[in-house]
């Protein structure tokens, strides 16, 4: 299961456990929304909880904010036990999905709301509001009401409001959920820029993998109330630890088979889809004969009309469908076993996609290091 | 192409329907509001007479001269006799205090119902409306049985030994307040409920998240956002309560001076239709102020929601 190329474990720093979540569970009327989840978040990082709807990510976020009480487990923030603290006593602020701006208050009043609760002197509140407006570049909109703002502007105000009190932890609930696609890409980078400039630790919840990968330093993949993998976007993508993660993030071709040979530097997998066992350039800690899967991403598979010269990792098939996406084309190739494999080729040359047509007989192949073995 | 023509024809015939539909309320208002209003206005400028109908005509035509006799004496009379001014002020006071009591009682009711499960909400709303299915007269009479000297409350308190003399509740302002608050409470609860039930729970969470304690959240978020509901409910209680006749007549004693009672007396006891009409006209003028305010706020609220 462990990979040959796993990153060397870095020494544990005191800032590594800024937020510690210990064996947290949440049950609603017998339904386990979150089940025995433990992990920690580093100071200053943007941490994304990524998963399909109903996976428990929002419940976990609401437990951090204090809107839900955990059924079991503890949450520590910078050494402070959050259990039993109501939301208004936590040094945590949240940017809500679709923002939840107060409709009867101006932009300024929205941002000042949290500061007023702390009974700060008036000039201090004003200074802080101006600072926040400047941070999100909304100075000229201070007197507007939320309904007079566009979606992107509302989001800036919501961000400013959640940052105004200088929270120890910022929570983002589906931060880009209410924006259209074009604005989303732009705001993702802008929000990250603001958060990183302030150095605030941030936990975000999203179902959009692109958003998580763009914004987060580390991602936790959640499935059925549990965390299936935590890692940097690249680790999650290139080194998925289970079939769920591999297929949830991006596209993947999974070849089910059994472990045939297991060495330190390589292993082979017997599968019904290829005549010759798949040769993988890393070892697996497992028993020979155990069931496992080989996962390879579509863009790491090559295709040609002639038989490739390499000994392993090639198989013949027929192109069934072509999805032309402009910058790249995705070919759906049917193998002799009946299995469908996706191959993604970059259209680096103009009209490059016309090399292959539907019903062409082709060979697909990949390098020894292109894929990973999944045992879970 | 042919079907397009047909649909165009159909739409033009709908245009006629459209006028019929929008015209109907205007015709209704003309027949049942404007015409009666003008009749009452006319009578208010007439003089009382022992005749049938019991007032003089304001238009007379004799010797090829049309004479219009407008008698402003009825209006002047209202301000000369302290009885009328006191009755107007009394009505405004009773209506205002009752409205406040309805708000204080109705807001928690509406708030609680709006926060419950949808299925429970409907049952409770039903219970709020249910008494209105019985005639108001009967329900007010029932209060007589409860409030009178040997009524339910006094008998119960005497049986408990808390008091040994019956409390004088009947025929006092207290009984009138009880009656008005009881009768008009649903008109406060329903608009407040329909406002509060639409509130976004996440706004309360946002306030709490930003450090507001629950009562602060209520004062700074829930209360200001329910202003439209408060105004609507207050107007629905205040406006009819000013002209209320049945409740002060049945529950209030001679000390309870309300304009509805005076109006009735002028009309039926004194048979002075012109003065009664003038009383009604002035009451309408007084009520115009809150009605205009109500529409102003309602329009602004709709504006804000867009």
Decide the pairing of beta strands A328-335 and A340-346: antiparallel
From CA B277, how far away is CA B74, in angstroms rounded? Answer: 9
Closest among A35, A163, A26 to A92, alpha carbons compared: A163
State chain B's mean pLDDT as an integer: 89
From CA A316, how far away is CA A165, in angstroms rounded? Answer: 61
pLDDT confidence bin for B103, thresholds 50/70/90:
very high
8 A C-beta contact, residue A45 and residue A217: yes
From CA A354, how far away is CA A307, in angstroms rounded? Answer: 19
Beta-carbon separation of B210 and A117 below 8 A: yes
pLDDT confidence bin for A352, thresholds 50/70/90:
confident
Closest among A104, A100, A63, A110 to A84, alpha carbons compared: A63
Lowest mean pLDDT among B62-66, B189-193, B281-285: B62-66
pLDDT confidence bin for B256, thresholds 50/70/90:
confident
Tokens of B237: 């209680």
Write down the pTM of the prediction: 0.81
Residue A340 has pLDDT above 90, yes or no: yes
Partners of B101 in the beta sheet?
none
Per-residue model confidence as pLDDT tens digits over A146-164: 999 998 899 999 999 999 9
Per-residue model confidence as pLDDT tens digits over A118-136: 999 999 999 999 999 999 9
pLDDT confidence bin for B21, thresholds 50/70/90:
confident
More confident residue, B82 or B253: B82
Per-residue model confidence as pLDDT tens digits over A52-94: 988 999 999 999 999 999 999 999 999 899 998 999 999 999 9
Give the whole-number percent of chain B exceeding pLDDT 90.
60
- Residues A214-232 have a mean pLDDT of 93
- Residues A289-301 have a mean pLDDT of 91
* DSSP H helical ranges for chain A: 57-65, 107-117, 122-135, 151-163, 181-198, 209-215, 233-238, 243-248
Contacts with A, B 245-304, CB within 8 Å: 304
ipTM exceeds 0.85, yes or no: no
Note whether residue B206 is domain-resident.
yes
Q: How many residues does chain A have?
A: 376
Closest among B128, B92, B83, B97 to B110, alpha carbons compared: B128
State chain A's mean pLDDT as an integer: 90
Per-residue model confidence as pLDDT tens digits over A31-41: 999 999 999 99
Residues 6 or more apart in contact with residue B37 via CB below 8 angstroms: none
Residues 6 or more apart in contact with residue A209 via CB below 8 angstroms: A50, A248, A249, A250
Query: What distances in angstroms separate CA A14 from CA A91, A220, B230, one per listed residue?
Result: 20, 21, 54
Q: Any idea which residue has 């049952």 for tokens?
A: B123
Q: How many separate domains does chain B show?
A: 1
Model pLDDT, residue B187? 95
Interface probe for A, chosen from B206, B207, B219 (most Cβ of A below 10 Å), is B206
Beta-carbon separation of A165 and B208 below 8 A: no
Report how far Cα B228 is from the mean position of its chain's Cα atoms: 17
Report how far Cα B106 is from the mean position of its chain's Cα atoms: 16
What are A's interface residues with B at a Cβ cutoff of 8 A?
65-67, 86-89, 92-94, 96-98, 100-104, 113-114, 117-118, 145, 147, 161-162, 165
Residue B86 has pLDDT above 50, yes or no: yes
Residue B238: burial class (beta carbons within 10 Å; 0-12, 13-18, 19+): buried
- Residues B36-54 have a mean pLDDT of 89
- Collapsing DSSP to helix, strand or coil, A253 comes out as strand
In chain B, residues with a C-beta closer than 8 Å to the C-beta of A173 are: none
Note whether residue B159 is domain-resident.
yes
In chain B, residues with a C-beta closer than 8 Å to the C-beta of A94 are: 206, 209
Lowest mean pLDDT among A177-181, A337-341, B71-75, B182-186: A177-181
Model pLDDT, residue A1? 37
Distance from CA of B233 to the nearest CA of A (A): 20
Phi, then psi, of A299 in degrees rounded to 5: -80, -10
Helix axes A122-135, A151-163, angle to 10 degrees: 130
Q: What is the dihedral of CA A94, A99, A104, A108, to 10 degrees?
A: 70
Beta-carbon separation of A117 and B306 below 8 A: no
Least CB–CB distance from B202: residue in A66, A96, A165: A96
The DSSP result for A76-145, as a single string, is EETTEE-TT--GGGSSEEEEBTTB---TTS-HHHHHHHHHHHTT--HHHHHHHHHHHHHHTT-GGGTT--
- Residues B63-72 have a mean pLDDT of 87
Decide the pairing of beta strands A226-231 and A253-262: unpaired
pLDDT confidence bin for A351, thresholds 50/70/90:
confident
Note whether residue B43 is domain-resident.
no
Model pLDDT, residue A57? 93
Task: Find the CATH number of the domain harbouring B81.
Answer: 1.10.3720.10
Cis peptide before A218 (omega within 30 of 0): no
Phi, then psi, of A311 in degrees rounded to 5: -80, -35
Tokens of A99: 């923002």
Model pLDDT, residue A11? 56
Query: What distances in angstroms separate CA B139 from CA A359, B236, B246, one per listed residue?
Result: 85, 19, 11
Note whether residue B7 is domain-resident.
no
Report chain B's C-alpha Rg in angstroms. 26
Distance from CA of B124 to the nearest CA of A (A): 25
Tokens of B239: 């406006």
Closest among A188, A220, A173 to A19, alpha carbons compared: A220
Tokens of A103: 């409709």
- Residues B16-39 have a mean pLDDT of 89
Model pLDDT, residue A2? 40
Closest among A201, A195, A183 to A15, alpha carbons compared: A201
Note whether residue B19 is domain-resident.
no
Model pLDDT, residue B297? 78
Model pLDDT, residue A3? 40
Residue B301 has pLDDT above 50, yes or no: yes
> What is the spatial order of strands in the sheet that A226-231 belongs to?
A92-95, A169-173, A201-206, A46-50, A218-223, A226-231
Residue A23 has pLDDT above 90, yes or no: yes
From CA B262, how far away is CA A180, in angstroms rounded? Answer: 65
For chain A, how long is the longest CA-to-CA vector? 77
Note whether residue B244 is domain-resident.
yes
Partners of A67 in the beta sheet?
none
In chain A, residues with a C-beta closer than 8 Å to the C-beta of B200 are: 100
- Residues B197-206 have a mean pLDDT of 94
Decide the pairing of beta strands B65-68 and A361-365: unpaired
Q: Which run of H or of E encompasses B103?
A: helix B82-115
From CA A251, how far away is CA A257, in angstroms rounded? Answer: 19
Residue B244 is part of which domain span? 72-305
From CA B304, how far away is CA B297, in angstroms rounded? Answer: 10
In chain A, residues with a C-beta closer than 8 Å to the C-beta of B216 are: 117
In chain A, residues with a C-beta closer than 8 Å to the C-beta of B225 are: 103-104
Partners of A304 in the beta sheet?
A363
Q: Any idea which residue has 């002075």 for tokens?
A: B272
Q: How many residues does chain B have?
A: 306
From CA A261, how far away is CA A271, in angstroms rounded? Answer: 13
Note whether residue B59 is domain-resident.
no
The DSSP 8-state label assigned to residue B210 in this structure reads: T
From CA A235, how far away is CA A168, in angstroms rounded? Answer: 27
């Amino acid at each position: 299961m462990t990979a040959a190329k796993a990153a060397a474990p870095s020494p544990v720093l005191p800032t590594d456990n800024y937020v510690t979540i210990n064996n947290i569970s949440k049950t609603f009327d017998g339904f386990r929304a979150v089940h025995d989840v433990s992990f920690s978040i580093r100071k200053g990082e943007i941490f994304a909880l990524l998963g399909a709807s109903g996976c428990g990510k929002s419940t976990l976020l609401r437990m951090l904010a204090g809107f839900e009480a955990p059924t079991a487990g503890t949450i520590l923030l910078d050494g402070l036990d959050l259990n039993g603290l109501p939301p208004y006593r936590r040094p945590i602020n949240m940017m809500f999905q679709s923002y939840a701006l107060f409709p009867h208050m101006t932009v300024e009043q929205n941002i000042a709301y949290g500061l007023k609760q702390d009974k700060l002197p008036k000039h201090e509140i004003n200074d802080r509001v101006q600072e926040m407006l400047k941070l999100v570049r909304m100075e000229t909109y201070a007197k507007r009401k939320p309904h007079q703002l566009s979606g992107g502007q509302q989001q800036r105000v919501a961000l400013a409001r959640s940052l105004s009190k200088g929270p120890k932890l910022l929570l983002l609930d589906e931060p880009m959920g209410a924006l259209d696609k074009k604005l989303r890409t732009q705001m993702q980078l802008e929000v990250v820029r603001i958060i990183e400039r302030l150095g605030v630790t941030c936990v975000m919840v999203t179902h959009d993998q692109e958003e998580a990968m763009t914004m987060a330093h580390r991602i936790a993949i959640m499935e059925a109330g549990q965390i299936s993998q935590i890692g940097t976007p690249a680790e999650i993508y290139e080194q998925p630890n289970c079939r769920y993660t591999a297929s949830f993030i991006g596209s993947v071709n999974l070849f089910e088979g059994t472990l045939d040979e297991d060495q330190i530097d390589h292993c082979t997998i017997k599968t019904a889809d290829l005549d010759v066992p798949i040769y993988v350039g890393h070892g697996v800690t497992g028993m020979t004969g155990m069931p496992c899967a080989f996962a390879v991403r579509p863009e790491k598979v090559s295709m040609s009309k002639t038989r490739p010269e390499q000994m392993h990792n090639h198989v013949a098939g027929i192109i069934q469908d072509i999805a032309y996406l402009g910058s790249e084309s995705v070919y759906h190739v049917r193998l002799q076993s009946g299995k469908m494999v996706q191959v993604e080729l970059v259209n680096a040359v103009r009209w490059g996609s016309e090399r292959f047509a539907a019903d062409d007989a082709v060979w697909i192949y990949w390098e020894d290091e292109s894929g990973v073995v999944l045992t879970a | 192409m042919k079907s397009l023509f047909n649909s165009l024809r159909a739409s033009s015939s709908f245009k006629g329907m459209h006028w019929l539909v929008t015209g109907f309320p205007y015709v209704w208002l003309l027949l049942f509001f404007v015409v009666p209003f003008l009749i009452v206005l006319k009578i208010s400028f007439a003089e009382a007479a022992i005749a049938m109908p019991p007032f003089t005509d304001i238009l007379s035509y004799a010797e090829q001269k049309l004479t219009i006799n407008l008698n402003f004496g009825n209006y002047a009379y209202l301000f000369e006799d302290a009885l009328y001014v006191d009755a107007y002020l009394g009505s405004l006071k009773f209506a205002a205090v009752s409205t406040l009591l309805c708000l204080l009682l109705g807001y928690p009711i509406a708030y609680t119902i709006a926060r419950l499960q949808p299925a429970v909400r409907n049952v409770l709303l039903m219970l709020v409306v249910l008494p209105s299915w019985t005639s108001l007269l009967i329900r007010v009479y029932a209060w007589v049985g409860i409030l009178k000297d040997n009524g339910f409350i006094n008998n119960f308190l005497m049986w408990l030994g808390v008091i040994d003399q019956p409390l004088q509740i009947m025929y006092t302002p207290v009984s009138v307040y009880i009656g008005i608050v009881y009768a008009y409470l649903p008109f406060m609860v329903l608009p407040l409920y329909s406002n509060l039930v639409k509130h976004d729970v996440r706004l309360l969470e946002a306030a709490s998240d930003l450090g507001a304690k629950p009562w602060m959240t209520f004062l700074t978020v829930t209360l200001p956002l329910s202003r439209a509901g408060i105004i609507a409910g207050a107007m629905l209680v205040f406006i009819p309560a000013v002209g209320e006749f049945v409740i002060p007549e049945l529950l209030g004693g001679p000390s309870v001076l309300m304009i509805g009672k005076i109006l009735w007396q002028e009309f039926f006891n004194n048979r002075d239709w012109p003065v009664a009409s003038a009383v009604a006209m002035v009451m309408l003028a007084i009520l115009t102020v809150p009605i205009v305010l109500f529409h102003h706020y309602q329009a602004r609220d709709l504006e804000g929601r867009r």
